[in-house]
Structure formats: C-alpha cells, structure tokens
Amino acid sequence: MSPKNNKITGYDFVKKSAGIEEYTLRKNNLRVLVLEDHSAPVATFMVTYHVGSRNEAIGYTGSTHLLEHLMFKGSRNFNKDKNTAIWTELQNVGAQINATTWNDRTNYFEVVPREHLDRAIAIEADRMRHAFLRDEDRQPEMTVVRNEFERGENSPFDVLDKNIWATAYQAHPYHHSTIGWRSDIENVSTERLKAFYDTYYWPNNATVTVIGDFKKEEALASINKQFSEHSKSSEPIPPVYTEEPEQEGPRRIIVKRTGQTGIVGIAHKTPKGLHEDTYALQVLGKILADGKTSRLNKLIIDKGLSTSIFMYDFPFLDNGLFIAYAFLTPGTDHKKIEEIILKEYNNILKNGVREEEIKRAQAQIRATVAFSRDGTYAVASALNEAIAIGDWTFYTKFMDNINKVTAEKIKEVIKKYFIEDQSTTGWFVAKEPKD
C-alpha cells in the first residue's frame, strides 16, 4: 500500500498487519482499527475500553460490569425521553447489539446492516462521555445484575471456577470474578460508578474497531466527526500495580452443594498473555484435551470416567491460570481423575510430546484462526481479546508464533509452570438432596 492511502484527515497512521490498519485520532488519541470486508452487506463496530474487573478492589467488585449495564440506560442524544433509546435505535434496524465485561476490558458492539454504521458510531461516541448514570436507573439495574449473579451461582462449574481463581490469586484482582461479590453488587453507590466512568471512559483509554462493508475513508471520517468532540482524559489512566506474591505451596478447595455429579479442576499459574511461553501453553492445551485423540480424552473420556474435559488457558493481560476441568460421570472418584491428570503432566515432563501431536495441534489452531476471520463480528471479537491483553497484533501474528512451538519448548513450559507448589486444585462435591 502506498503511504498516500494511509493519509486520512485527522488521523496518524500507526501500522498495518494482516490487512488491518491502525490509526490514532490526533484530537484525543483514540485508537482506531479498520478492515474493509465486502463479503456481506454488514459492518461491525466495537469499542473496547481498557478497563475490566482487574481495575476493581474490595467494596466495588463487579463495578465495571454494573457500569456496562448502566451504559444502556441512556445518554445525551440517545435516550427514552427523545424516543431514541439505544436498544430501540439499533434493534429496530435489525442490528445485533450487546456489551461484555471481563478481567481486562469492557466492549460494546453493534453488527449492523451497512447503511446503519453511522448510527452505531454516533451512539458509541455519545455514551463514551455523556452517559446519564442516574441513581434511579442503578436501583432496578442492580437487581438485574444480582439475578445474573444468581444465575451463575446456579451452575456448579461457575461456583468452582470462582473459588479456584479466588484461591489461586489472593492479592491480585483476578482474585474476584468479573460479576463481583454479591454484597458489592448490592451496595456500590452510583457516585462510585460515576467515578469509575470518569476515570476510565476516555478516548485515550479505548480502541475502536470497525470491520465490514464500507469505504475506509468514509468510516474513518464518521468516527472522526463523532468522537472528536471528546478531549483526552485530564488525568493519566491509573495503572494496576498490585502483583501476586509468590505462591509457596499447593492450595486446595472443596465446594459442597446439592447436586448430581462432581467436577475436578486443577490450576497452575501461567505468565502474562503476551509472554512468549503463551504459544507453547496453547499447543499443550490442545495436545492434552482438544479432540478425541488428545491425551486426556483417551485416558478419561474413553474410560467413561468423565462426560467432558477441557482446558481453560485463556491469555490475560496479567498472569493467568492453566486449568484442566473434568466433569465426572456418576460414581467416579475425584481423586482418581486428579491422579490421572497429574500423572499425564509428569509423563510429558519426563518423555515430552510427539512431533505429530504438535503438528495436529497447530492444524487445529490454524483452522480456528481461519474461522476467526469468518464474518465481521468474528474478526472484531478476536481482535477485542488481543486488544485487552495489550497488543492487537497478538491476533494477526498468533499463527506464526504457534508454528514456532517445538517439542522442546513444550517440555520447558511444563517444567516451568506445572509445579505442585504453584497449583490450586478444586473439587465440586455433589451432596445428596435432602428429603
């Protein structure tokens, strides 16, 4: 591409990778990622704020998520009084619209028929700095979010997962789940939420992604027009400086509730998502539990000991967890499953993995990456997670890095991270229902 094509009024061109271009809006440092894709008459617009539940602390856990809910209650130009409520404006034209919150980010998105892209841009620009955030809206929304929390608590897996993270991370805010603790959801004040909004919802703490059937110059001009009214934040965005102290011994937790079957989760601490070891851990996860030929499938599922098994090894901005989860069949002993999983980790530590296992894992990841380009929302969604961990090119370079993983590297990461003293093991034990 010639440099001329990157000259867009109001923007600085930053870089390009896999067809995706990055620009910075000069006025306020809003980062914009853009990719034209004319496969279908559709466009996806997404705003990712670099704030998630890692930016919360005791007393206001779950605030990022509660704030995300309040962001749909109206803003200066889009509200019920003007008959321009956000849901109505977008759903009435057939758009898919939603928002999600996780450890490291909050994202708002719209998948729209191409002719309505400007409407999505206008809504997101308006609520970036002009959301109402009224107490009269927080009160009914708090009970909505509390019911979301209660629904999560209905699930034995969700409860066990929360407990494993809370046990593995004691100082770092990954200790609490994104939904937060119930009493914080119930009691956090509107003022606290507003302060949160005024700290983090600024163009210089956000990345806008626009993918789909439009002309790049027109989409960028529309973003410029709508978002340029905002200034940069007057204060620097506060960093999270809490680090998890070194774990000095294995940890165990047991959750007992009325239920039917058990679950085992074994977690080990992993490095930050952008660390070079992430790629070997991803390949290892595939070798262990993805597909019927994977090692733990043969050892556990094929023996009828579990109904399913999967690896939870998502890369985060800070250190994370590599967790093996097994859902036991009735009558299966938790201890037995735990021993099988740990024995297999030791087996890999001693004997390594086979070359063909690596090739197969790479092929599986290659197809997953290709399907993450199938549709404008798929691309935006994959980019969103890469943006969250600090470098959107993590997405575009992911496959190249996966291809570099060797058997030696896998042995190295299992030796480095799969240490008993760094582990947290959780059991969900189903109690017999009372008569």
299 to 338: interface string for other proteins, x by CB under 8 A: --xxxx-xxx------------------xxxx--------
User: According to the binding rule CB under 8 A, does residue 113 interact with other proteins?
Assistant: yes
Q: Is 147 in the site for other proteins (CB under 8 A)?
A: yes
Answer yes or no whether residue 215 interacts with other proteins by CB under 8 A: no
> Residues with Cβ < 8 Å from 133, sequence gap 6 or more?
67, 70, 73, 190, 193, 194, 197
- Residues 55, 237: Cα–Cα separation, whole Å: 11
The mark string for 42-81 relative to other proteins (x by CB under 8 A, - otherwise) is x-x----------------------------x--------
Pick between residue 215 and residue 415 the one whose CB is nearest to other proteins: 215
Q: How many residues of this chain interact with other proteins, rule: CB under 8 A?
A: 78
Asked if residue 162 binds other proteins (CB under 8 A), the reply is no
3-state helix, strand, coil in the chain (%, to 5): 45, 20, 35
Footprint of other proteins on residues 240-299 (CB under 8 A)? 257-261, 290-293
Q: Is 189 in the site for other proteins (CB under 8 A)?
A: no
Residue 231 interacts with other proteins (CB under 8 A): yes or no: no
Among 7, 15, 40, 276, binds other proteins (CB under 8 A): 40
DSSP category for residue 131: B
Closest listed residue to residue 32, CA positions, set 44, 43, 46 = 46
Asked if 219 and 117 count as a contact pair (C-beta separation under 8 A), the reply is yes
Q: Of the two residues 39 and 346, which places its CB atom closer to other proteins in the complex?
A: 39
CA dist., res. 382 & res. 385, Å (int): 6
92 binds other proteins (CB under 8 A): yes
Helices (H), 131-215: 135-153, 156-168, 182-187, 190-200
Which residues between 401 and 420 bind other proteins (CB under 8 A)? none
Tell me if 52 sits within 8 A of 101, measured CB to CB: yes
Among 12, 82, 134, 143, binds other proteins (CB under 8 A): 143
CA distance 286 to 103: 23
Q: Say whether residue 9 binds other proteins (CB under 8 A).
A: no
Kindly tell me which residue out of 112, 121, 309, 348 binds other proteins, with binding defined by CB under 8 A.
112
Residue 231 phi, psi (nearest 5):
-90, 175
Token code pair at residue 326: 């097994």
Assess 41 for contact with other proteins (CB under 8 A): yes
